[in-house]
A and B are shown apart, each in its own frame.
Chain A
Amino acid sequence: MFKNKLLSFLSKVCLLVVIISVFTVFTGCSNTKTLKIGVPNDGTNQGRAIKLLESAGLIEVDPNAGYSPELKDITKYLYDIQIVPTKPELLPSLLDDYAACIINGQFAAANGLSPSKDGLLVEKQEEGSSNPYINVIAARTNEKDNEIYKQIVNAYQKQNVAEYLLQRYNETYYPAFSYSEFTNDESFVNEITNYTSSKENKTVVKVGVCGQSNEQWKAVQKNLDDENLNIYIELVIFSTYNLPNEALNSKDIDLNAFQHYAYLESEVKAEGYDIVAIGETLIAPLTLYSKGSNSLEQLKEKLTKI
């Protein structure tokens, strides 16, 4: 008896669920007029992406939010768009689905996108100390005057590192220190990329970085070896941006180099880390891409103005 009752109850529930799901699918379809814009979902790039959309004239952002605004700081949408945080490395393959995407240089380059050719709008990042998006090397505050760390910063801010950054990571990274003119040379890039060093009888310094695009550290290692400083840089590669600062603060690593001033500042404020920037490394601008639009104006024509 009970079984029959139960079965009829279950079938009713199933029917209801099917009706609800069909309903939601249909209502979902009717809302597709709002075009979606994909932005990176990590804390360090999301704020920059929102700033870039502001400079593109698509949204208005609360000026009090500073350099790392969140979705809540958007005061007004000028066009009918929805900002969707997405895994940054997936954005290039989702360009067909989003109206536009804001993509980090290293992921765009890996998928054959070039900011100057395909980009609608490139983040403006002039050299100079007022730029909050310059990437830095960070150390614990009590060790910021450490002689070894100073030597590493010096070895980074050299001409050959600048040349390597500009040639190997074309249009992805720009050096944040002064360098002189040079001519492109492929053999130089290969020489650095294949450079290896041994850590025997050397002081090992663990540097936390994010992602795989960090080959410039080989050039830094070469500079250190050329000056016989007996320092070996061991790269510790992290996959999320929250971890290297925590690792640095708890002495798992000695230095980290993945973040810009604005992110360092927000992390220190939020988590109370006792870390400080000791040297500037590079600038990595974000770029707005869109399939099917060749310019920002063309993209704006597709969007509905509010």
Chain B
Amino acid sequence: MVEWIKKVIPNVYIYRKDFITNTLATLEMFIISGIIAFIIGLFVGILLTITKKGGIKQNRIIFHFLDIIINILRSIPFIILIIFLIPITRKLVGTAIGITGAIFPLVVGTVPFFARQVETTLANVSDGKLEAARSMGCSTIGLIFRVYLKEAVPELIRVTTITAISLIGLIAMAGAVGAGGLGDFAMSNGYAMHHTDIVNVCVIVLLIIVCIIQAIGSLLSKKTVNRELFRKKVL
């Protein structure tokens, strides 16, 4: 087996330690920044939904403020965003390099995208359901947790999957600040050094990661569709 690896992918074998470190770095950045971005993004998305015109807690100031911030952050190319955020990152976490320094820019790059996706998803929850819940005495918090989030679970899982996969793409760019990761490893140790095998193996590993995320997302969203509701409708 080892002989075979040495023959087919010699450079990956030479850099095997770095390869494993960088694979773990990609997963670490993905998990940490993914969790933080999920929580903040969900919160901002809900805030957008309830404060917009005709929402359950209409508030023009908050809505327009968030709207503009999201548009600004989404229009900045990610590599420029990293550079802009270097001083802020340094103040927040003490360093602007490595995995620690990459997580903050990754969160800032993901949250606006995810918040917009959440907003779109929650907009699809029908007003009739909200009206019904409210007439039964549901509070604002109740409306958010019992109606909006509950009804939109399959869709939320689907948009989370989309955001997660785009986050994998962003991580490759975050390697620019010395955070490592598979994308950066493929670039600086593979492509720049003419080690085509390293590039290929990195792409295959990333492909596997993306496939796993997509499969989990599809499965969960299929399982969480409110089947009882559908059955009642048919009867």
Contacts and interface: CB of A to CB of B under 8 A. Distances in A.
Q: Do A and B come from one complex?
A: yes
Nearest to B228: A3
A85 B100 contact: no
B31 A21 contact: yes
A85 B32 contact: no
B192 A242 contact: yes
Interface stretch (B51-59, B137-145, B161-169, B183-191): B183-191
Interface in A221-249: 241-242
A17 B35 CA distance: 9
B100 A28 contact: yes
A20 B188 contact: no
Nearest to A43: B192
Interface residues of B, number: 32
Contacts of B220: 6
A70 B95 contact: no
Say whether chain B's binding surface is mostly helix, strand, loop, or mixed. Answer: helix
B14 interface: yes
Contacts of A241: 192
A18 B192 CA distance: 36
Contact of A36 (B31, B97, B194): B97
Contacts of B223: 2, 6
Given A84-B178, A242-B192, A6 B224 contact: yes
Say whether chain A's binding surface is mostly helix, strand, loop, or mixed. Answer: helix
A94 B192 contact: no
Given A18-B35, A270-B194, A96 B188 contact: no
Given A6-B224, A242-B192, A93 B86 contact: yes
Contacts of B83: 90, 93
A41 B192 contact: yes
A9 to B, nearest CB: 10
Contact of A85 (B31, B95, B188, B194): B188
B193 A96 contact: no
A78 interface: no
B224 A3 contact: yes
A97 B90 contact: yes
B191 A94 contact: no
Contacts of B86: 93-94
Most A-side CB within 10 Å, residue of B90, B178, B184, B194: B178
B177 interface: yes
B99 interface: yes
Nearest to A29: B100
B176 interface: yes
Interface in A4-44: 6, 14, 17-18, 20-21, 24-25, 28, 36, 38, 41-43
Most B-side CB within 10 Å, residue of A2, A36, A72, A94: A94
A202 interface: no
A20 B30 CA distance: 12
B18 interface: yes
Contact of A86 (B100, B177, B192, B193): B177
Contacts of B15: 71-72
A41 B187 contact: yes
A85 B186 CA distance: 12
Contacts of A38: 97, 178
A181 interface: no
Interface of B: 14-15, 18, 28, 31-32, 35, 83, 86, 90, 95-101, 176-178, 180, 184, 187-189, 191-194, 220, 223-224
6 contacts: A25-B32, A41-B192, A84-B178, A86-B176, A97-B97, A271-B194
Interface of A: 2-3, 6, 14, 17-18, 20-21, 24-25, 28, 36, 38, 41-43, 46, 70-72, 84-87, 90, 93-94, 96-98, 241-242, 266-267, 270-271
